[in-house]
Amino acid sequence: MSAHPDEAFLAVLVQRGHLSMDHAQAIVPSLRGGGSLDDLLEDVAGWDSEKVHRLRITRGGEEPQIKGYKILGKLGAGGTAEVFKARDLERGKTVALKILSAPLAREHKSLAAFVREAKMLKQMEHDSICGGHGVKRAGETIFAVLDHVEGQTLQEILDAADAPLPEEQALEVILQVAEALEYMNSMGLVHRDVKPGNIMLTPRGRAKLIDLGFCAPVGEVGPSDTAAGTKAFLAPEQALGGGVADLRSDIYSLGATLFQLTVGRLPFGDGEDDDVLRKHVMEQLSSPELKGKSLSTHLQYFIEKMMAKDADVRYQTWVELIADMSGQLEGKRSADFHASAKPSKRRRAPKRPS
């Protein structure tokens, strides 16, 4: 028996979490026998005609239609949501719509976390945090309205170049992110998922945090059997599970980000298995690239201090880290200026920070 033309759409509904596999398998024989898919969805899945029509015209949400917005294209997708570039017709402004996936929109815990993130973003005003304008519902579609940020994530930049960033540029980016995280900490929050994929870089060189999905109040204890965040960037205390949310964990993850930006690879591998977590907890940071002549001793110091296994050895405040890093950048600019003004005068190599 030949496949029915609507079977491809049926597969989309299953793949996007609108329809269970059991329901789809129950529908296929009748569909191939000449039945109408729309009628079968109403009879077998219990959908009304309005829902069937909405999923038809949006191809199951692949091409969303939301009143008050003109969709201009898809910006990206993650494990929980898809992000679309859109025109806010009322405000006449380009925005980003972050649409929660259909299965998660039906789960209380996931929906609550999505709403919580949207509300936090609405409260924040910082040049290095992508701002938000609240969460909305259009039928069964749950979405957050965000500022539209032109540019690429640091991960996309690294992947496209297949090479690390220049040291000074990397430090500038990390400094901006540190200032955003210090701002969040002043509001009693820690990020818990700092990584290149969650940092956008605009054409003008402004770094912006774009995802606060794992954000938590300072001092909140995580689940004992899970590690919140992305394994390749987790601090040892996060990797063990059940750790207290602490700014020093964000400092570790930012250090791992700085490592990847300047060395060109992850410190303990890019897998999502338990071996990566074990290395974050048990193995000391070792990198021949950091010991080489191409990267400064100051950069080596920053990474080693930020990624210390013992949280008490890391920077203890964002203010301390920002002061050290901004001082290094300002000193380098001053040294470069004087060197260009007086090319005949040689400068002594800087000593390792103590």
Element of type H or E holding 133: strand 132-138
CA 301, chain centre distance (Å): 26
d(CA 102, CA 100): 6
- 3 state SS of 117: helix
Q: Of 192, 193, 169, 285, which is closest to residue 245 (Cα–Cα)?
A: 192
d(CA 16, CA 102): 7
**Packing angle of the helix pair 297-306, 167-186 (nearest 10 deg):** 30
Q: How far apart are CA 153 and CA 159, in angstroms?
A: 10
Element (H, E) at 277: helix 274-282
CB of 44 within 8 A of CB of 17?
Answer: no
Packing angle between helix 37-44 and helix 21-32, nearest 10 degrees? 140
Phi/psi at 73 (5° precision): 150, 165
- Token digits of residue 1: 């028996």
Q: DSSP assignment of 21-84, as one string?
A: HHHHHHHHHHHHTT--HHHHHHHHS---HHHHHHHHHTGGGTS---TTEEEEEEEEE-SSEEEE
Among 13, 53, 5, 52, residue whose Cα is nearest residue 32: 5
- The structure tokens listed for 35 are 């039945």
Dist CA 140 CA 163 (whole Å):
43
Contact 17, 61 (CB under 8 A): no
What is the set of active-site residues? 193
